[in-house]
Structure 1
Amino acid sequence: MATLALTAENFDEVTNKDGIVLVDFWASWCGPCIRFAPTYERSSEKHQEITFGKVDTEAEQAIAAKFDIRSIPTIMAIRDGVIVFSQPGALPESALENLIEQVEKLDMDDVRKQLAAHSH
């Protein structure tokens, strides 16, 4: 599966479903973003079961503002509608693979309990 362009119209629909969604916040003028793109693309081909989305922060400024994206590229991992990871910086391929493994291993019931505990 190739990467999916995420926009204000489809962002919530794509990121709120069950499963893992990775989001790459990028811009065409950002050198590290452009260099990271082939790594992200290769990973999307390797992991068919994961949705790989890209947010063009120039075109989708409202999404970037909603998540307080200050530095790009930023990689965000969402599982079952919950943001479980967000970090600026282009990841080397091994780190991206490691991130995917970690997100796949998460106990989402435990994650939800922790979130509930923090929100009280």
Structure 2
Amino acid sequence: MATIDLTSDAFEKTVTADGIVMVDFWAEWCGPCKAFGPVYEAASEKNPDITFAKIDTEAQQEIAGALEIRSIPTLMIFRDGIQLFSQPGALPGHALDDLIDQVKAIDMDEVRAEIAKQTDEPSDAD
């Protein structure tokens, strides 16, 4: 099994690590979550260079609450500690594969430069 079960103890350390980290928020009672599970697992097998994590929202309610998870499944993607994606809903395999390709193609130097630019600029709301 290529996915890891993530708990509050390891969440921050995992998502702030270098590389791509995908997190699937799910629950045992959730039909769409159960349908997405094998798709997510298959993607993890095809992409050993990515960390694929799963968070059971019933067992890890503090994480789900802190991240304002309102619908499941929800997929979040982090790269080099920066959240790049968060969207509820189960994806078909081809859409997940395409999303992974897009995340791999992102120029993280550009992302970091844009974040720095936004944090250095004064607010327009003055």
TM-score with structure 2 setting the length: 0.91
Q: Does 1:63 align with 2:59?
A: no
Residue 8 of structure 1: aligned partner: 8
1:82 equivalent in alignment to 2:82: yes
What whole-Å deviation, never above 9, does each CA across 1:9-51 have from its counterpart, x for those lacking one? 1111111110000000000010000010000001100100000
Asked which structure has the greater CA Rg, the reply is 2
Match of 1:52 in 2: 52
Report the Cα distance in structure 1 between the residues aligned to 2:67 and 2:97, rounded to whole angstroms.
Answer: 23
Q: CA RMSD in A?
A: 1.1
2:96 corresponds to: 96
Matches within 5 A, 1:11-50: 11-50=11-50
Deviation of 1:105 after TM superposition, in Å, equals 0.5
Paired residue secondary structure (1:71): coil
Q: Structure 1, residues 66-89: CA drift from partner, whole Å, max 9, x if none?
A: 111100000111000000001000
Q: Could you list the runs of 5+ residues in structure 1 that have no partner in the other structure?
A: none
Output the TM-score relative to the length of structure 1. Answer: 0.95
* Aligned-partner Cα distance in 2 for 1:16–1:74: 19
- How many residues were matched structurally? 120
Structure 1 position 113, deviation (Å)? 2.1
Q: Distance in 1 between matches of 2:61 and 2:118?
A: 28
Unaligned runs of at least 5 residues, structure 2: 122-126
Distance 1:67 1:118 in 2: 22
What code does the residue aligned with 2:3 have?
T
